[in-house]
């Protein structure tokens, strides 16, 4: 009898807890992402030539890939189809100088406050997918602001364009922003750039502020932007992202573990991967990771030197490509085996409409022109994420591979990925 009473009491308690949990979940779902009082920072950034040059690199590394419309190239926002699905449907914002559609009416101080804390001038809090830069130096922050607001980059000209839809945060995003994830504190003291002579400190600064650690840690929801080393699986990889065709891929282990990380990579191996897009074994990097050719050799050296100092994590991740079914078309087989499908998708265009091969026949009238682009894209278009394939593709493979590219370009547009 006594046991039955205890069991009944436990059942009532569990039911009560479940009821409370359901009620809290309902509140979170209804409330959505919270808003906050925006801070007031007074700042007037001078757009010196040095800042505009530095800002061009930083905006290229941190902003363009997420905010560039895949058709126009203007920074008017796009659907982020390669982002972690756990956060929901993501549409990036218009960050051009339009006064209402973009950030043209924001002050320099408001831009700085938003980028450091995640709180916009209207109080809205940027969800987890927006990069926040609490550790970026004051000088680099000034460079970003100078470029966004005062450069002659036509992609940032005032564009009266709404982003293609609205973000639809998942329940996980709403829960995180109501509990664990809050606005970051605005720095109370000046933030300096480490001297280049301190190679390890400078490498750490670059690896953190170029946002390498965020992707190459174990869980986007457990990244610590204030003390990055406390992020779960710091540089050990394992975060799930999406390739061009929408298939999942986990990020690589960049710690100095000899078996599962880059412990056996030389600096030349690392540079070849980061700057040129090819691993030491000759395989191309797969999207969403693309070459960062804008990085200088001394930056690569510093990042590599720093990565060699962090604790090695033995974290093996299954990053193998699913075997492509055999096809009688040799060009299609080469397209898959060289990894072109990772960035361009099976039908020649990624799910977000970028990396589009459908205009290849318009852009390259002859095979000689198409081959020159494939071999030397970074030289022909600085800043492109297309690697240069010269010396990688075998001579006998060019003909059938280019034939397949032209076949994709002839396919009806409606046959492309949605």
Question: What would the mean pLDDT of 105-118 be, rounded to a whole number?
Answer: 96
Architecture of domain 199-307: Orthogonal Bundle (1.10)
Q: What pLDDT, on a 0 to 100 scale, did the predictor assign at position 131?
A: 85
Cis peptide bond prior to 288, omega within 30° of 0: yes
* pLDDT tens-digit readout, 131-167: 899 999 999 999 999 999 999 999 999 999 999 888 8
Spatial separation of the C-alpha atoms in residues 253 and 284, rounded to whole Å: 16
Q: What pLDDT, on a 0 to 100 scale, did the predictor assign at position 10?
A: 39
Which pTM was predicted? 0.84
Q: What pLDDT, on a 0 to 100 scale, did the predictor assign at position 346?
A: 83
199-307 and 330-415: same fold? yes
Residue 354 has pLDDT above 80, yes or no: no
Annotated domain spans of the chain: 49-178, 199-307, 330-415
Residues 6+ apart with CB under 8 A from 71: 353
Whether 249 contacts 242, CB under 8 Å? yes
Spatial separation of the C-alpha atoms in residues 172 and 28, rounded to whole Å: 10
* pLDDT tens-digit readout, 200-216: 999 999 999 999 999 99
Q: Which residue is it, tokens 């009238």?
A: 365
Give the whole-number percent of the chain exceeding pLDDT 70: 88
Residue 20 has pLDDT above 50, yes or no: no
Residue 369 has pLDDT above 70, yes or no: yes
Residue 15 has pLDDT above 70, yes or no: no
Q: What pLDDT, on a 0 to 100 scale, did the predictor assign at position 178?
A: 87
pLDDT band at residue 7 under the 50/70/90 scheme:
very low
Residue 60 has pLDDT above 60, yes or no: yes
Query: What is the CB-side half-sphere exposure of residue 262 using CA atoms within 13 A?
Result: 28
The fold for domain 49-178 equals Cytochrome Bc1 Complex; Chain D, domain 2 (1.10.760)
pLDDT band at residue 58 under the 50/70/90 scheme:
very high
Q: What pLDDT, on a 0 to 100 scale, did the predictor assign at position 19?
A: 47
Q: How many helices (H) and strands (E) does the chain have?
A: 15, 4
Spatial separation of the C-alpha atoms in residues 50 and 202, rounded to whole Å: 19
Q: What pLDDT, on a 0 to 100 scale, did the predictor assign at position 317?
A: 85
Q: Lowest mean pLDDT: which of 119-123, 207-211, 350-354?
A: 350-354
SS3 content of the chain, % helix, strand, coil (to 5): 45, 5, 55
Give the mean pLDDT of the chain.
87
Q: What pLDDT, on a 0 to 100 scale, did the predictor assign at position 415?
A: 41
Q: Lowest mean pLDDT: which of 67-76, 94-103, 270-279, 319-328?
A: 319-328
Taking domain 330-415, whether its CATH number is 3.20.20 is answered by no
Residue 53 has pLDDT above 90, yes or no: yes
Most confident region among 171-180, 226-235, 276-285, 405-414 by mean pLDDT: 226-235
């Amino acid at each position: 009898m006594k046991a039955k009473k205890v069991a009944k009491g436990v059942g009532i308690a569990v039911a009560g807890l479940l009821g409370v949990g359901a009620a809290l979940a309902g509140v979170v779902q209804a409330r959505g992402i919270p808003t906050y009082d925006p801070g007031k920072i007074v700042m007037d950034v001078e757009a010196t030539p040095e800042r505009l040059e530095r800002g061009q690199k930083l905006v290229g590394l941190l902003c363009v890939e997420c905010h560039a419309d895949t058709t126009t190239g203007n920074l008017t926002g796009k659907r982020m189809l390669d982002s972690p699905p756990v956060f929901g449907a993501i549409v990036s914002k218009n960050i051009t100088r339009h006064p209402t559609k973009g950030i043209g009416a924001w002050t320099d101080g408001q831009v700085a406050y938003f980028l450091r804390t995640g709180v916009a001038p209207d109080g809205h809090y940027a969800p987890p997918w927006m990069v926040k830069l609490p550790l970026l130096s004051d000088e680099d922050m000034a460079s970003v602001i100078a470029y966004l607001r005062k450069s002659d980059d036509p992609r940032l000209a005032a564009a009266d364009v709404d982003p293609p839809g609205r973000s639809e945060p998942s329940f996980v995003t709403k829960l995180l922003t109501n509990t664990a994830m809050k606005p970051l504190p605005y720095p109370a003291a000046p933030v300096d750039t480490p001297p280049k002579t301190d190679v390890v400190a400078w490498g750490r600064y670059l690896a953190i502020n170029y946002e390498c650690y965020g992707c190459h840690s174990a869980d986007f929801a457990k990244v610590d932007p204030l003390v990055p080393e406390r992020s779960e699986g710091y540089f050990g990889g394992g975060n799930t992202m999406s390739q061009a065709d929408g298939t999942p891929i986990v990020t690589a282990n960049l710690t100095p573990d000899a078996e599962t990380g880059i412990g056996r990579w030389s600096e030349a191996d690392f540079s070849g991967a980061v700057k040129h897009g090819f691993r030491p074994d000759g395989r191309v990097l797969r999207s969403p990771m693309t070459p960062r050719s804008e990085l200088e050799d001394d930056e690569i050296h510093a990042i590599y030197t720093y990565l060699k100092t962090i604790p090695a994590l033995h974290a093996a991740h299954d990053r193998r490509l699913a075997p492509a079914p055999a096809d009688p078309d040799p060009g299609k087989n080469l397209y898959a085996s060289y990894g072109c499908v990772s960035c361009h998708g099976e039908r020649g265009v990624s799910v977000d409409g970028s990396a589009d091969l459908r205009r290849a026949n318009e852009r390259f009238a002859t095979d000689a022109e198409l081959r020159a682009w494939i071999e030397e894209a970074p030289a022909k278009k600085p800043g492109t994420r297309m690697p240069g394939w010269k010396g990688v593709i075998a001579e006998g493979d060019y003909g059938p591979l280019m034939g397949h590219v032209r076949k994709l370009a002839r396919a009806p547009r409606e046959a492309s990925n949605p």
